[in-house]
Amino acid sequence: MQQRSVGKSIASHLILSLVGLLFLTPFAWLFLTSFKTEDEIFVIPIQWLPDRLRWDNYINAIKMIPFVQYTWNTIWIAILSVAGVVLLTPVVAYGFSRIDFKGRNALFMLMLSTLMLPGQVTIIPLYVMFNKMNLLNSYWPLVLTTWFGTGMAYNVFMVRQFFNGIPQELSESAKIDGASEFRIYAQIVLPLAKPAILTIGLFTFLFAWGDFQGPLIYLNDPDKWTLSIGLKQFIRENNVAWGPLMAAATLFTIPIIVIYFFVQKKFIEGITITGMK
């Protein structure tokens, strides 16, 4: 019986490893291609390993576009987006989860209904609104749409589900001791929700880091462009700088992998616990 369970464990780990390698293949191809010449990229049959490492692809990737400036712009937008979502989402979720007020369920359902609204429907109204507010060609449209857009509804739903799993007895005991609602939220409920908050923060960072449509619509000044727009500049009218493009795409992807590596434990915990509520 024990040998059978060990065999099942080995088989399941082997299958998961093979699936993991399958998902790793595109990034491996991207990384290896960033060191190839153009002839090596398009040779048939496929040549996985370059004859020699072409580090000049990375040098050209940084020189062909203002890579450092675009990186800083992207980081700035991502930080503002994550900070706003992490601060605002738990407050709204706490109100829907722990505070009983008239019309709470109706408002919550109205907020969730925004998830059914395609993002393309709101592009023109939002553009007109930000134009009237004189916010075009700034980072505020990108940040505000992250704070209050349809993604906010999903974040609130996720954190609310997490809050619903925290025993009400903790809040009631704190109220008996004279704690205010804000103190209960800040010192009792919020610290227990770190996995959920880190999860929505990671989702927000991934969206802000890789967003192409938003910067393309709202940013006219090339000095304010992000990395997602910068990658498009390697694709010219008559040719594509494939080597530098792959190098830039690799540099674009590495921060996401590094951040996920450090927060993966809390991220998986947040997803798992929230899904059980």
Where residue 225 sits, what CATH number does that domain have?
A: 1.10.3720.10
Token pair for 249 = 């795409």
Do residue 45 and residue 107 come from a single domain?
A: no
Contacts 24+ apart (CB under 8 A), 213-220: 214/141, 214/142, 214/145, 215/77, 215/142, 217/123, 217/127, 217/141, 218/127, 218/130, 218/136, 218/137, 218/138, 218/141, 218/142, 219/137, 219/139, 219/142, 220/136, 220/137
Same domain, 49 and 62: no
pLDDT at residue 276, as a whole number: 46
Determine the pLDDT at residue 139. 94
- For residues 231-255, average pLDDT: 88
39-53 burial, b at 16+ Cβ within 10 Å, e below that, comes to ebbeeeeeeeebeee
- Strand, coil or helix: what is 240? strand
Q: Are 23 and 135 in the same domain?
A: no
30, 246 Cβ separation under 8 angstroms: yes
> Is 153:115 a contact under the CB 8 Å cutoff?
yes
Residue 240's φ and ψ, nearest 5 degrees, are -125, 130
Domain count along the chain: 2
**114 and 44 in a common domain:** no
Lowest mean pLDDT among 75-79, 235-239, 271-275: 271-275
Task: Find out whether 273 and 162 touch, Cβ atoms under 8 Å.
Answer: yes
The phi, psi pair for 24, rounded to 5°, reads: -80, -20
Domain of 231 in residue numbering reads as 58-275
Phi and psi at 230, nearest 5°, equal: -60, -35
The reply to whether 115 and 70 lie within a common domain is yes
Q: If pLDDT is split at 50, 70 and 90, which confidence band does 52 have?
A: confident
Same domain, 82 and 43: no
Tell me: do 33 and 70 sit in the same domain: no
Q: Are residues 72 and 192 in the same domain?
A: yes
Q: Are residues 34 and 19 in the same domain?
A: yes
- Considering the domain architecture, whether residues 128 and 231 belong to the same structural domain is answered as yes
Other CB atoms within 10 Å distance of the CB of residue 189: 20
User: Each residue of 124-160: pLDDT tens digit?
Assistant: 999 999 999 999 999 999 999 999 877 888 899 989 9
Residue at which a domain ends, from 54, 71, 90: 54
Q: How many CB atoms lie within 10 A of CB 196?
A: 28
